[in-house]
Amino acid sequence: MKDILEEIVARKRQEVAALKQATPLHELVARVEPMLDEPVPSMSQALKASTTGIIAEFKRKSPSRGWIHAQARVQDVAPLYEQHGAAALSILTDEHYFGGRDEYIALARRQGVKLPILYKNFVIDEYQLVQARLCGASAVLLIAACLSIDTCASLLAKAHDLGLEVLLEMHDERDLDYAALEPDMCGINNRNLGTFVTDVHNSFAMAARLPAQAVKVSESGIGSPATVRRLRAAGYDGFLVGEQLMKQSNPGQALQQFIDAL
Ligand SMILES: O=P(O)(O)OC[C@@H](O)[C@@H](O)c1c[nH]c2ccccc12
């Protein structure tokens, strides 16, 4: 079986090339420049300050699950996530595999959402960083498994130039070198993006291998408040929860129940 991450990244390269053809980078940069003085809410600080640490995700579908919640509207869900105690939001913007769009972040902002928002995509090119800033994101995900360490370092610096923070996603010990880049937040993905095998124990195994001072985020497969409590005890500051909320008919209300039980 072809590794799904490889397939996603190959397609992403084509998508970005087509976008650049339609609107060259310098045009996008000209659009973002007037915005660069506007303050961006800090996701790392929000996680440190939050009592819940929950990063509530808006994800309508995924390659591992297919459609999770096709009808969900970000205009409805994002304000409820904020109201019900999320520390930050994560919004999928990849369309083909995850049913997302950049516009979903813009729509959340238009509904008045003030929380930090993570631009959740497979970022391989600075073009996407500018897109992230333009739609109202506060932070971007960079995935160690799809970037060389040099490319990752360069994207991290460019994200900072745009006022964006970086959540650097690692999965296993082969990725740990990337933590030396000192991202704003270190994520441990419990899901192997090549095989989709998801196991929260991965976060427990990796916790002690991350730099002590790093803001630590556990990602994927978090299904219960009890798991969050155990992850917090293991040193995590943030907990990225998608499917568990999105598979409910009312994800915002599901978050409230989840947080009440923390
Ligand atoms: O739906 P879950 O199992 O709660 O997982 C959320 C989030 O961690 C997951 O969506 C994710 C983690 N890293 C990614 C990279 C790309 C796309 C999606 C992801």
Q: Mean pLDDT for each consecutive 10-residue tract of the chain (262 residues)?
A: 86 98 98 97 98 98 96 98 98 98 98 98 98 98 97 98 98 96 98 91 97 97 98 98 98 98 96
CA-nearest residue for atom 11, ligand 1, is 220
Pocket, ligand 1, Cβ cutoff 6 A = 57, 59, 120, 143, 169, 189, 219-222, 240-244
Q: Best mutation site among 189, 195, 244 for ligand 1, i.e. most ligand atoms within 8 A of its Cβ?
A: 189
Q: Determine the distance separating the centroid of ligand 1 and the alpha carbon of 86, expressed in angstroms.
A: 16
Name all domains of the chain by residue range, CATH numbers in brackets.
4-260 (3.20.20.70)
* Cα–Cα distance list, 255 to 54, 81, 177, 214, 251 (Å): 9, 7, 34, 26, 6
- For ligand 1, the distance from its centroid to the CA atom of residue 243, given in whole angstroms, is 8
List, in sequence order, the alpha helices (H) in the chain. Answer: 4-22, 25-32, 43-49, 74-83, 103-110, 126-135, 149-161, 201-207, 225-233, 243-246, 251-260
Give the closest residue (by CA) to ligand 1 atom 7.
220
Whole-angstrom Cα distance, residue 167 to residue 80?
Answer: 23
Cα 141 to chain centroid, rounded: 5
In this prediction, residue 2 carries a pLDDT of 62
β-strands 61-62, 66-67: how paired? antiparallel
pTM, entire model: 0.98
Please tell me whether residue 91 adopts helix, strand or coil conformation: strand
Catalytic (active-site) positions: 57, 59, 120, 169, 189, 219-220
Q: What pLDDT does residue 1 have? A: 46
Q: Which residues does residue 90 pair with via DSSP β-bridges, in sequence order? A: 57, 118
SS3 37: coil
Report CA(193)–ligand 1 centroid distance (Å). Answer: 9
